[in-house]
Structure 1
Amino acid sequence: MPELPEVEIIRQSLDKKIRRKKVKKVIVRNRDLRMILPNDFKKQLENKKIRRVTRFSKYLIMNFNDNEFCLIHLGMSGTIHLVKNGSKNCFTNLSFYSSPLLPKKHNHIEIIFDRFKIIYNDPRRFGFFQIIKDYDDLKKRFSHLGPEPFDKKFNLKFFRKFIKNKDKKIKDLIIDQNFVSGIGNIYANEILFLTKINPFKKAKLLKKEDCNRIILKSRIVLQKAIKKGGSSIKDFMNTEGKKGGFQDSFNVYQRNGLKCKRKGCKGIILKKTISNRSTFFCNNCQN
């Protein structure tokens, strides 16, 4: 599943292509996604002008001129493809963890503009589209989620209050979307490496300086990942057919058995499982 940096790259690509564009037509080939599309979904989008594309956490948000919104969540296997009229451009994928080419199957939704269309493809159908009627409803939709790592609300006071008496391992805490929104398994591993904190440590045992380091390093890691275009673990590409580059900067993720990159450290990167997720850490500097 794409994490905050990858969704931000998709947002940038989409915004560049569909900002101020009018939806001419919508074709729904399959309503049976994670959230079943309403019967009037097509009517709710057609003839609307897109003001801009924004993002919260791992959600893309199409903002319309009439102050309604359409949320898009890619789930585990959802991808968005941009196809220009008459174009033979082989790179169509705006998304993550899939082929850069438009697959022949599982094209569930087509949103058609003047000279191009965007196609939502999702073999596992864990993604969804949702119409939100106004800004108040949009706020309510995200009220169960924690702040983003870049939000001022993600601060020491909030952190300390949240972890009080929690036996949860710190790795599980960082990927808990109720705590902080947008961080998934890849970046949690990288953040904890930079903080020198063992992923198995219980959250309630974190000291004040530990919390501050996690807040700071979360922002640093995610900003760097966005700047490098996200992480291309498989075939993630943006609208220009360019791969992300952050995977070249991984310190621990998928580096099990290799030497630690930290200067002066003689440790080895280990791979263990926490809550059914692969967890990578240095056996020396994160001990």
Structure 2
Amino acid sequence: MPELPEVEIVRQSLAKKIHKKKIKKVIIKNRNLRFKIPLKFEELLQNKIIKKVTRFSKYLILSFSDGSFCLIHLGMSGTIHLIKKKNFTKFTNVSFYNSSNLPKKHNHIEIQFKDLKIIYNDPRRFGFFIFINNKQDLLNRFSHLGPEPFFKNFNLNYLLKYFFNKRKDIKSFLIDQKFVSGIGNIYASEILFLSKINPTKHAMKLSKKDCQKIIFYSKSVLNKAIQKGGSSIRDFKNTSGKNGNFQKEFKVYQRENLKCLRYKCGGKIKKIFICNRSTFFCNICQK
């Protein structure tokens, strides 16, 4: 599943290509995504001008010049492909996960502009496209979610208050979008390793110093992943022919039974399951 850094790469790629462009036509080949696409969706998007491409957490947001929006979630397997009418390139994926080329099957939505088009591909169909009338309705969609790690309100006071008397383990909190938006399973393991915190530790037992480390490394890990093009696990090229390679920076994720990379630690990376998700940590230096 694409996490915040991968979705940010998609946002950056789209922003460069469709900013201020007018939607000429929308073609829906399959309406049965996570939420069924209504019959008037094509009509609602036609002739809309892209004012901005933004993101919140793992959601893409197309902001239109008339104050309406299109909210996009890529689900488990969704990818967006950009096809130019001229200068066709075989690398169409605007991010670095799943196929770099446009697949022949599961191309559900096509949004056409004058000189290019974007195609939404999703084999599992867990993603969705939703038209939203105004900014307040958009904010209401996110009201149940916590702040992103980059937001000012993701601070020490917020963590201490949230964790007070909570026996739930810290790994579960980091992947809980109600607590913090945008951190997924891969990055949670990396953040806790750098913070030297055991993923099974109860949140109520975290010190102020622990919380400060979580805040710092949450920002640091996600920023580095964005700079490196995200974590596709497998290497693929995006529309620029570049590779996403943050997976080469992993300290613990998918390193089960290998030596800890921390200097003079001597520990081994262990794998356990928390919330049915694989969790990696060092058995010595993460306490």
- Under TM normalisation by the shorter chain, which class is it? over 0.9
CA distance in 2 between partners of 1:10 and 1:72 (Å): 11
**Partner of residue 26, structure 1:** 26
**Partner of residue 167, structure 1:** 167
**Partner of residue 49, structure 1:** 49
Q: Secondary structure at the match of 2:27?
A: strand
Q: Please state how far the C-alpha of 1:70 moved relative to its aligned partner.
A: 0.4
**Alpha carbons of structure 1 residues 97 and 155: separation in structure 2 relative to 1, 3 Å:** same
Letter in 1 for 2:32: D
**Partner of residue 269, structure 2:** 269
Q: Please state how far the C-alpha of 1:237 moved relative to its aligned partner.
A: 3.8
**Partner of residue 257, structure 1:** 257
Q: Please state how far the C-alpha of 1:165 moved relative to its aligned partner.
A: 1.8
CA distance in 2 between partners of 1:211 and 1:272 (Å): 23
Q: Please state how far the C-alpha of 1:235 moved relative to its aligned partner.
A: 4.2
**Partner of residue 238, structure 2:** 238
Q: Please state how far the C-alpha of 1:232 moved relative to its aligned partner.
A: 2.4
**Partner of residue 206, structure 1:** 206
User: Is residue 129 of structure 2 the alignment partner of residue 129 of structure 1?
Assistant: yes
CA distance in 2 between partners of 1:225 and 1:97 (Å): 13
Q: 4+ residue stretches of structure 1 with deviation over 4 A?
A: none
Letter in 2 for 1:268: K
**Partner of residue 196, structure 1:** 196
- Asked if 1 retains the 8 angstrom alpha-carbon contact of 2:235 and 2:244, the reply is no
Letter in 1 for 2:106: H
Report Cα offsets for 1:217-256 as digits up to 9, x if no partner.
1011111111111112124543212121211111001111
Report Cα offsets for 1:171-230 as digits up to 9, x if no partner.
000010000000000100000000000001111111111111100110111111111111
Question: Counterparts of 1:1-287 in structure 2 under 5 Å?
Answer: 1-287=1-287
- Asked if 2 retains the 8 angstrom alpha-carbon contact of 1:232 and 1:243, the reply is no
Report Cα offsets for 1:247-281 as digits up to 9, x if no partner.
11110011111111111111111111111111000
- Asked if 1 retains the 8 angstrom alpha-carbon contact of 2:96 and 2:229, the reply is no
Q: How many correspondences in the alignment?
A: 287
Normalising to structure 2: TM-score of the pair? 0.97
Q: Please state how far the C-alpha of 1:96 moved relative to its aligned partner.
A: 4.9
CA distance in 2 between partners of 1:163 and 1:39 (Å): 45
Letter in 1 for 2:186: I
**Alpha carbons of structure 1 residues 149 and 131: separation in structure 2 relative to 1, 3 Å:** same
- Asked if 1 retains the 8 angstrom alpha-carbon contact of 2:53 and 2:62, the reply is yes
CA distance in 1 between partners of 2:65 and 2:48 (Å): 7
- Asked if 1 retains the 8 angstrom alpha-carbon contact of 2:97 and 2:231, the reply is no
Letter in 2 for 1:183: I
CA distance in 2 between partners of 1:236 and 1:142 (Å): 31
CA distance in 1 between partners of 2:235 and 2:98 (Å): 6
- Asked if 2 retains the 8 angstrom alpha-carbon contact of 1:100 and 1:235, the reply is no
- Asked if 2 retains the 8 angstrom alpha-carbon contact of 1:92 and 1:241, the reply is no
- Asked if 2 retains the 8 angstrom alpha-carbon contact of 1:82 and 1:93, the reply is yes
Q: Please state how far the C-alpha of 1:150 moved relative to its aligned partner.
A: 0.5
Q: Secondary structure at the match of 2:12?
A: helix
CA distance in 1 between partners of 2:262 and 2:25 (Å): 53
CA distance in 1 between partners of 2:56 and 2:158 (Å): 19
Give ranges in structure 1 of 5+ residues lacking alignment: none
CA distance in 1 between partners of 2:168 and 2:115 (Å): 51
CA distance in 2 between partners of 1:209 and 1:235 (Å): 36
CA distance in 2 between partners of 1:137 and 1:24 (Å): 25
Letter in 2 for 1:27: I
Q: Please state how far the C-alpha of 1:58 moved relative to its aligned partner.
A: 0.2
Letter in 1 for 2:206: L
Q: Secondary structure at the match of 2:157?
A: helix
CA distance in 2 between partners of 1:238 and 1:72 (Å): 19
CA distance in 1 between partners of 2:96 and 2:35 (Å): 21
Letter in 2 for 1:181: S
Q: Which moved more, 1:94-103 or 1:73-82?
A: 94-103
Q: Which moved more, 1:226-235 or 1:136-145?
A: 226-235
- Asked if 2 retains the 8 angstrom alpha-carbon contact of 1:269 and 1:280, the reply is yes
